[in-house]
């Protein structure tokens, strides 16, 4: 029996579909059919058929306002599986559960996707009033504690490059002045953690710390989030931040990071 090279078994249509998905990388969030056609050197009709197939399976979704296309939730689900296999979710689960128990607040771990942060796992405390899970929600970088961690500690400054010229205001506490945000990020670099107080959601405060792996690269964020009446300046300083820093260091250690 003659063994054929694996390259001989490649299905062209599947290859083209993967080419489409790979265009949504780096700082690219949305692309139109015309642009995809130019990039892939394929006829618009072929590109549209590929997009329609990917959209039907949940890998691509269309922004009805712009009519451009972006990655769908199915990509996030597969990404979650990959990350779990690589260790972040697997290593973080017990830490999240212990942190939620010690702080009695909601906790989560997230990663950056383009210019936003996506929560990957979320643990709620056993108490009546709490912040409930927002898995699948894209969190903006400039007004969330997890986003500020990426602005402060990503070596290549990739998140900074995705910030809009005019920062979106979510509440009256959102920092929308770029120079004020830069000064704030500098303070985070010095402190080693980020705090957000009602800047994204009113009456909700959060604290976040970086998570690094054996390459010393920022691979995610670990955060505590809760009602503003409980996450006061005093409780954040005395209870939340010390516990969160220890948990972040432990998770990073489990991923091979050596201080």
The pLDDT mean for the chain works out to 87
- Kindly report the number of other CB atoms within 10 A of residue 195's CB atom: 21
- Kindly report the number of other CB atoms within 10 A of residue 258's CB atom: 8
Cα end-to-end distance, the chain, whole Å: 54
Give Cα separations from 73 to 28, 56, 59, 128, 142 (angstroms): 16, 12, 7, 30, 23
DSSP string, 35-81: HHHHHHT--HHHHHHHHHHHHHTTSEEE-TTT--EEE-HHHHHHHHH
- Model confidence band, residue 243 (pLDDT cutoffs 50, 70, 90): very high
C-alpha Rg value of the chain to the nearest Å: 21
Give Cβ neighbours of residue 196 (< 8 Å, ≥ 6 apart).
143, 144, 145, 148, 205, 206, 207, 208
pLDDT of residue 126: 85
Domains of the chain: 6-71 (1.10.10.10), 76-254 (3.30.450.40)
Question: Whole-angstrom Cα distance, residue 154 to residue 220?
Answer: 10
121 close to 89: Cβ distance less than 8 angstroms: yes
Average of pLDDT values for 217-235? 93
Examine the pLDDT at 74 and tell me if it is beyond 80: yes
Least-confidence region, from 16-20, 82-86, 179-183, 187-191 = 82-86
pLDDT of residue 85: 52
- Model confidence band, residue 24 (pLDDT cutoffs 50, 70, 90): confident
Examine the pLDDT at 1 and tell me if it is beyond 60: no
Cα torsion at 105, 106, 112, 115 (round to 10°)?
-90
Give the tens place of pLDDT for each residue, 161-220: 778 888 999 999 999 999 999 999 999 999 999 999 999 999 999 999 999 988 888 989
Residue of 249, 209, 207 whose CA lies nearest to 232:
207
106 close to 225: Cβ distance less than 8 angstroms: yes
Residue of 122, 114, 103 whose CA lies nearest to 231:
103
Q: Is the pTM for the entire model greater than 0.95?
A: no
Please state the separation of Cα 84 from the chain's center in Å: 15
133 close to 242: Cβ distance less than 8 angstroms: no
pLDDT of residue 184: 94
Query: At 18, which helix (H) or strand (E)?
Result: helix 12-22
């Amino acid at each position: 029996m003659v063994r054929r090279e694996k390259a001989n078994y490649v299905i062209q249509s599947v290859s083209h579909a993967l080419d489409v998905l790979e265009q949504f990388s780096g700082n690219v969030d949305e692309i139109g059919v015309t642009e995809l056609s130019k990039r892939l050197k394929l006829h618009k009709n072929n590109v549209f058929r590929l997009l329609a197939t990917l959209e039907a399976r949940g890998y691509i979704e269309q922004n009805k306002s712009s009519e451009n296309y972006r990655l769908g939730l199915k990509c996030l689900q597969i990404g979650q599986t990959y990350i779990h296999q690589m260790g972040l979710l697997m290593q973080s689960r017990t830490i999240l559960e212990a942190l939620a128990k010690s702080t009695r607040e909601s906790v989560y771990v997230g990663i950056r996707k383009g210019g936003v942060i996506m929560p990957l796992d979320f643990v709620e405390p056993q108490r009546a009033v709490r912040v409930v899970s927002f898995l699948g929600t894209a969190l903006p970088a400039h007004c969330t504690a997890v986003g500020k961690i990426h602005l402060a500690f990503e070596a290549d400054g990739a998140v900074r490059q995705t910030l809009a010229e005019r920062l979106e205001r979510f509440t009256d506490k959102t920092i929308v002045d770029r120079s004020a945000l830069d000064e704030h990020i500098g303070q985070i670099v010095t402190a080693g953690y980020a705090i957000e107080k009602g800047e994204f959601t009113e009456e909700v405060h959060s604290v976040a710390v970086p998570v690094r792996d054996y390459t010393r690269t920022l691979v995610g964020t670990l955060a505590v989030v809760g009602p503003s009446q409980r996450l006061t300046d005093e409780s954040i300083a005395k209870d939340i931040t010390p516990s969160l820093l220890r948990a972040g260091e432990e998770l990073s250690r489990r991923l091979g990071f050596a201080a």
